[in-house]
Amino acid sequence: MLDWIAKNQGPLSVLINAGMLGIWVLYAQLLLRDYRRKLRPKILINQSLGTALQSHCLICNMSEQSFYVSLVLADLTIDDQAYRCSVTDLEIHEAEQTKNITIQGPIKGGDYRNIGAFNNIVQGALKANDLDEQMLQQAQKLTLYVIGIYGSENQAVGAKREFCFDTDHHGDICLNPTHIDTDNLTGRRHQKKIRRWLEDYL
């Protein structure tokens, strides 16, 4: 065996070096993939405390770096027509009191922001579009867009989630997410839309 190794030392060295190079290339790819994953923003738009209109909307930053919320848009679809408006600044009615809040601001990595009840968002969309509250009975869908700056990136990124209107077993209006995941708008093909939204609504 030792004689065979001694006779084939040259080819064996080439094979061993090639194997080690392959291992290092694989290791470098794994490190690069993990590094890119850490830099990639992941924003979630979640619903908590049930599905009624009084359920709360949460913006969750599941990324490692901070995410600055610049703009929140709402598309309210009624009779197949979408009514869009900014709900970044909301007027909230609680306990016979009215207060104004803004959703703008940073969210640290792994943290979330409760932006209040979905009803406040829906009412804000109705008011912004001069729609009668009775039209809510014909509402079909609510689509939320969260736009902001992630980490040290110069380009804005976004997230989108759709909720459909339904009625619960009591006959009251409720909202249910149409998909289990939030769509993150991070690719180049989304940049033109995001820039236009920021120009139009900020």
For 97-130, the pLDDT digits (tens) are: 777 889 999 999 999 999 989 999 999 999 999 9
pLDDT at res. 18: 74
Report the percent of the chain where pLDDT is more than 90: 61
CA of 146: how far to CAs of 45, 61, 158, 161, in Å? 8, 11, 5, 9
Q: DSSP state, 146? A: E
| Domain covering 42-201 assigned CATH 1.10.3470 in the classification | no
pLDDT at res. 129: 94
**What are the structure tokens assigned to 174, written together?**
């409720």
Q: Strands 183-185 and 139-150, how do they pair? A: unpaired
For 88-101, the pLDDT digits (tens) are: 998 776 666 777 88
Q: DSSP state, 52? A: B
- The sign of the CA dihedral 172, 178, 182, 184 is negative
For 5-40, the pLDDT digits (tens) are: 566 666 767 677 777 777 777 766 766 666 555 667
Specify burial of residue 24 (Cβ count, 10 A radius: 0-12, 13-18, 19+): exposed
Rounded to an integer, the average pLDDT of 161-175 is 93
- Per the listing, tokens 């709402």 go with 74
Residue 14: what residue type?
V
Interacting residues of 25 by C-beta distance below 8 A, sequence separation 6+: none
pTM of the model: 0.83
Of residues 21 and 190, more confidently modeled: 190
Interacting residues of 143 by C-beta distance below 8 A, sequence separation 6+: 74, 75, 77, 82, 160, 161, 162, 163
Q: Evaluate whether 141 touches 166 at the Cβ level (below 8 Å).
A: no
